[in-house]
Amino acid sequence: MRLTRYVIGVLVCTLVAVAGCSGDSDEAPAADLEKTQLTVGTMAVVDAAPLEIAVRRGLFKAEGLDVKLKTVSGAAEAMPQLKNGQLDISLGAYIPFINAVGSGEYDLKIVAEGSRSAPGTHTIMVPPNSPIRTPADLKGKKIGVNTKYSAASMVVRAAAKVHGVTLSEEKNFVQIPPPEFQNALMTGKVHAIQAIEPFTTIIAQATGAQIIYDTSQGATREFPIAGYAATTEWTKKYPKTLAAFQRALAKGHDLANDRAIVAETIPQYTTIKPDLARAVSLSIYSSPVNPTRIQRILDNMREFDLMQGNVKLEQILVDGAKSK
């Protein structure tokens, strides 16, 4: 009798194991993961909306992941924490991630895309009644950007180049935290700013400042701005966990195509009020890594002398894939 019960028990366990993937257990997706608890770096910015949506809607949990978000100021703050294990993955601007690899300071991989510029998300603004009318008028002027030697300054330089003007990172750009953009612009500290949302909308509504150029056009149309990085060591150690993270984040990006969902989510993790959240311009959200888009970043970094070292595409992609 005991043997019969034992055999039946083994058969039942075997059947459950085989059918487990079709069951309703929340634990099933985690069964094959190397790691289930992740700390992911994020920022209180509009571009983090898909990540927040994925957490708040249980998309990571559905993949067997327990994701805790930790706010960082950007890639510079995130990278040491990725290296020492305080963060597993982090959102950040591409250029600092890439240059950290080029300098040899960090060994990182881009594991998911985050955002690309869209109309209204990255603009050049000037005070009301400014004589500056086009990027050509920026010659010899001071332009405020959130970070020098970055995508912010690069898109302005690209716009100026189209208009026959060469701008210098050192001579023309002033690094200013975005919350201080309005004061810097209206007090004359700078002649123009490379504004990002929600500050574009806030400043325009508060001061009547004018947009003279939308940088999401021409050579910098839909330009890749931010993505997610992890250390190469981490991606090799936790490949199944990474795949689960990527699947869940991709679903978050899909939901972020619904503006109503994004507008509802933004006030929950930023200080942006609901009315403003409904008014701001939104980036293009895309998660799976597209080698062609990442190569575009590298090409532009080289063109504007923003790259440290000589980073190749395969160095920063998890699978070493090359752009076609």
pLDDT tens digits, 163-215? 999 999 999 999 999 999 999 999 999 999 999 999 999 999 999 999 999 99
Q: pLDDT at position 286, please?
A: 86
Angle (CA) 297-299-302 rounded to 5° is 110
Residue among 97, 323, 116, 113 nearest 232 (CA): 97
DSSP string across 63-93: TT-EEEEEE-SSHHHHHHHHHTTS-SEEEEE
Give domain limits for the chain. Answer: 28-116+223-316, 122-220
| Average pLDDT value for the chain | 90
Mean pLDDT of 106-131: 97
Please, which pLDDT band fits residue 287 given cuts at 50, 70 and 90?
confident
Query: Picking from 2-11, 224-233, 295-304, which range would have the lowest pLDDT averaged per residue?
Result: 2-11
How far apart are the C-alpha atoms of 149 and 169, rounded to whole Å?
Answer: 7
Class for the domain spanning 122-220:
alpha beta
Query: Picking from 32-36, 152-156, 295-299, 318-322, which range would have the lowest pLDDT averaged per residue?
Result: 318-322
Asked whether the predicted pLDDT for residue 17 surpasses 50, the reply is no
CATH superfamily of the 28-116+223-316 domain? Periplasmic binding protein-like II (3.40.190.10)
Predicted TM-score of the model (pTM): 0.86
